[in-house]
Amino acid sequence: MKEYLIQLPTLTPPKEKEPLILYLSAAEVAVGAVLMVERENIQTPIYYISKMLTGLETRYSMIEKLVLALLHATRRLRRYFSGHVIIVLTNYHLGQILSKPDVAGRMAKWAIELGGYNILYRPRPAIKGVWTLHTDGASNDDGVGAGLRLFSPDDHELTYSIRLEFRSTNNEAEYEAFLAGLQLALKMGARNLEANVDSKLVAEQVNGHYDAKGEAMALYLEQAQALISQFQTFMVNHINRSENKHADALSKLAATSFKHLAKEVRIEVLSNPSVSLKQVNIIEIGNPSWMSPIILYLQHGKLLEEKAKARKIQNKAVNYEMADDILYRKSFMGPLLRCVDKTDVQYLIREIHGGLCGIHVGPRMVVAKIMSAGYYCPGMHVDAIEILRKCTACQRHAPKMLRLKNPLVPVTSAWPFQQWGIDLVGPFPDAPGAVKFIIVVVDYFTKWVEAKALASTTAMVIRKFI
């Protein structure tokens, strides 16, 4: 125990009215602060303080946690805050946020309490030898882009705008920007890197707090970890989008139009994703599908021996074309649709109908969504009907239909007593008078009903009733 105490840094008392420096830190379940004094360009600690977060405090944002750490420091170190100028070094704009007139809630209460002290907020200087990276990805109707800013330890800045010429989601665009920034930092010779991203998903997955669900996210995370392993020290932080405006502007610039800005901004175009995603359909040798004859004809000009089938393939092939050894179907006034086999289209039907974001719609809408996603297979509608009929959720939660299964057949009559309907009902248990049958006559025009109880159903009795 004595050895550990000896290794602890020595605390020093401040001089009267000497300005002090305060460093704030915030984690998922705790916040802390270090009060220091700088003498001859050497910072010496004065006091350490920390606080465990409980209940609602663990769900505070990063800004709220840092302000809470500052507030806790003022309450515990009131003597230092009352007699000294405190300089808070942070990369977050705490001073601007606390001085806003529209701040409300607990932040407003904290701002009033902190206003009684002489606190200055200044940006935190870069750590010696550490590069700083800011990345952002954007995906919209115009395109997909990524922006990144790399700062060297001597504050030299490199800015890049990257246009992604392939379809990707917002999370994939964020990962593309992050991977591009890591590759640029390695090319510039950086060995210590601090990355700031405004995507909480990317930051938490890299830090190991979130699981990478889905094949694409797992591959992107694997690629990022491979690049991170090449740095001596690495740290990734999640920041708000308001603190990443320059990288966000670069990503949106690349996602829209950049021809007129090619000389002012460094722009790179990526035609393929950074990770090699598995294809949806794989045509295995020895396992032919409906696409095999068409591919064989388009690539090698070979047809089947039967003339009828060969002519049918020739007629079908007009609507298809090959690109990078992948079969696509032409669509009217639309993009090319990637052809998939029966197994893959059944998987797409199940995912779109009842998957993670399934909407449990009818077969027509499911097929429309498959085609809008860029896939095609003949007979999709029949497969969708067959699969959707077996959906347990649809059968369990379907509305009850009050309509008759068979259509009603109306019986019309032009005038009264033109058409009659006679029915015999029984036998029933004997009633008084030994009657056990009922004869009913209905006029189809007026719906007039006549009924009589009978003891027997002989011809004489029926004729007498009529």
pLDDT at 16: 79
pLDDT at 154: 64
Cα distance between residue 165 and residue 327, in whole Å:
20
Mention every residue, 6+ apart, whose C-beta is less than 8 A from residue 176: 137, 144, 146, 162, 164, 168, 270, 273, 274
For range 412-417, the mean pLDDT: 76
Two structure tokens written together for 60: 């505070």
Residue-wise pLDDT tens digits, 68-114 = 889 888 888 888 888 888 888 877 778 888 888 777 788 888 888 88
Two structure tokens written together for 24: 């704030």
Strand-by-strand arrangement of the 20-26 sheet: 42-52, 30-39, 20-26, 86-89, 119-122
> 148 near 157, Cβ under 8 Å?
no
Strand-by-strand arrangement of the 192-197 sheet: 233-238, 192-197, 131-139, 144-151, 157-164, 267-270
Q: For residue 274, what are the CA distances in angstroms to 27, 146, 183, 278, 306? A: 31, 13, 11, 13, 45
Question: What confidence category does residue 286 fall into, taking pLDDT thresholds of 50, 70 and 90?
Answer: very low
Quick check: 46 pLDDT over 60? yes
Instruction: Spell out the domain ranges in the chain.
Output: 2-122, 131-270, 340-397, 420-465
Beta bridge partners of 135: 148, 197
pLDDT at 260: 47
Q: Is CATH 3.55.40.20 the classification given to domain 131-270?
A: no
Question: What confidence category does residue 9 fall into, taking pLDDT thresholds of 50, 70 and 90?
Answer: low
Question: What confidence category does residue 411 fall into, taking pLDDT thresholds of 50, 70 and 90?
Answer: low
SS3 184: helix
pLDDT at 436: 86
**127: nearest Cα among 23, 50, 18:** 23
Most confidently modeled range among 54-63, 125-134, 400-409: 54-63
Q: Which residue has the higher pLDDT, 287 or 368?
A: 368
Residue-wise pLDDT tens digits, 200-227 = 888 888 888 888 877 788 888 888 888 8
- Among the residue ranges 110-114, 126-130, 197-201, 428-432, the one predicted with the least confidence is 126-130
DSSP states along 383-430: HHHHHHTT-HHHHHHPPPP-S-SS-------SSTTSSEEEEEE---S-
Residue 70 CB neighbour total at 10 angstroms: 26
Cα distance between residue 317 and residue 106, in whole Å:
68
Q: For residue 382, what are the CA distances in angstroms to 17, 28, 55, 68, 339? A: 83, 51, 53, 60, 17
Quick check: 284 pLDDT over 70? no
Q: Is CATH 3.10.20.370 the classification given to domain 2-122?
A: yes
pLDDT at 4: 36
pLDDT at 139: 64
Residue-wise pLDDT tens digits, 243-266 = 777 777 777 665 555 454 444 455
Average pLDDT of the chain is 79
Quickly tell me which residue has 């002989």 as its tokens: 458
Question: What confidence category does residue 128 fall into, taking pLDDT thresholds of 50, 70 and 90?
Answer: low
**Rounded CA Rg of the chain:** 39
Alpha-helical regions (H) of 19-104: 62-76, 78-83, 94-98
Element (H, E) at 126: none
Cα distance between residue 384 and residue 382, in whole Å:
5
pLDDT at 261: 45
- Give all strands (DSSP E) within 242-343, no chain letters: 267-270, 320-323, 326-329, 337-339
pLDDT at 143: 61
For range 47-73, the mean pLDDT: 86
pLDDT at 129: 60
Residue-wise pLDDT tens digits, 152-173 = 776 667 777 777 777 777 788 8
Cα distance between residue 195 and residue 332, in whole Å:
46
> 138 near 173, Cβ under 8 Å?
yes
Quick check: 402 pLDDT over 70? yes
pLDDT cut 90: percent of the chain above it: 0
pLDDT at 283: 40
Q: Residue 349 class from Cβ within 10 Å (0-12 exposed, 13-18 middle, 19+ buried)?
A: buried
SS3 265: coil
pLDDT at 7: 47
Residue-wise pLDDT tens digits, 330-385 = 887 778 888 888 888 888 888 888 877 777 888 889 888 888 888 888 888 888 88
Two structure tokens written together for 72: 């806790």
Mention every residue, 6+ apart, whose C-beta is less than 8 A from residue 380: 345, 349, 367, 370
